[in-house]
Amino acid sequence: MNKIIPEYIMERRNIIKMLIFITFFSLLFINVYTPFKYAEWFDTNSRTEQFIYSGIAIIGGVVILILSRILMHFVHKKAKLTVLQYSGWLIAEMILIAFAYTFFNKYILKDNREFMDILPRALLFVPMLLFIPYLVSYLYLTLKDKDIMIRNLLAGKHYKKLKENELTEEPKDIVHFKDEKGTLRLLVKLSNLFYIESADNYVNIYYLNKSKVSRFILRNSLKNIEESLTEFGLIRCHRSFIVNIEKVKVLRKEKEGLFIDLGQEDIIDIPVSKTYSDKIMELFQITD
C-alpha cells in the first residue's frame, strides 16, 4: 500500500477523460438503470423532476471532483501519493459529495426528510455510483499504459539491444532518446528524425523507418528532451513541438501564424508560436 501510484493516473488528459466518463455514467445509472426508487434519491416520483434534479446534483458532484483533482495534481507533484493515500483521497471525495448531495436535497430542494435520514442513504449511494466508473477508468488506463509499453518494445526491435543502457561508441549523427529515469529507449539517425511532440508526461517521436513515418512513445517531458539534445541542432518552435530544422522544406506564413512543412504527406504542418517565431525566422533569414 506504500507503493507510489502509476503516473498515468495523474496525467491531465486521463483525469479529464475519467471525469467525463463519470458524468455520463452517473446520469445513465440514475435515470436509465434506476437501481433505486426515485424517492430514495430525491423526494419525487416524477421522471422529469428526477432527471433535472439528478443532472444538477451530478454536475455539482463533478465540480467537487474537478477541484479535488486539481488539488491532488499539485499535491502529487510535490510529494508522490501512495496507493493508500490515493485510496483515502477517493473515500474523502465520496464523503464530501455525499454531504453536498444531502445539503442540496434538504435545503435547496426542501426535502421533507431529516438531514440525518438523507445522509446515510447518500453515504451508501455515492460510493455505489462512483465505484464502477472508477474501476472501469482504472482498468482502461492500465491497459492503455500496457499497450504503450508493448508498442515501444515492438519498435525497439529495429535497434540493437544495448548493454547497461549505454553505447560504447556514439556516432555524432545518432540521436539517443532516454526516458525520465535515464534509460535509453530509442536510437534514431538524425537524418531520419522529423519532429518531437509533447503529450502530457510523454513525448511522441516521429521518424523515418523503412520509408514510412513511425511514431515512438517515450515517457519524458519535452523540456528534458530539449535540454538533452542541444548538440543535434533540434529547434523548439512551439510549447508542444521540437523540429529537426534540417528536415524543413517550407516555412509558410499565414493569418494564423507561421507553419513548418516537412514535405511529408503523412506528417502535419508544425505550428510556430510567437515565442519562437523570431528565432525560426532568423534561421531562415526572413524579414517582415
The answer to whether residues 197 and 167 belong to one domain is yes
Structural domain for 104, as ranges: 7-154
pTM of the model: 0.53
Half-sphere exposure of 81 (CA within 13 A, CB side): 22
- Are the C-beta atoms of residues 102 and 118 closer than 8 Å to each other? yes
User: Is the predicted pLDDT of residue 288 greater than 90, yes or no?
Assistant: no
Residue finishing a domain among 119, 154, 189:
154
The answer to whether residues 127 and 172 belong to one domain is no
DSSP tag of 3: S
Overall number of domains in the chain: 2
80-100 per-position pLDDT tens digit = 888 888 889 999 999 998 898
The answer to whether residues 122 and 188 belong to one domain is no
Least confident of 46-55, 220-229, 244-253, 271-280: 46-55
**Does 211 reside within a domain?**
yes
The answer to whether residues 122 and 176 belong to one domain is no
29-53 per-position pLDDT tens digit = 766 655 554 445 555 556 676 677 7
- Find residue 213's DSSP bridge partners: 208
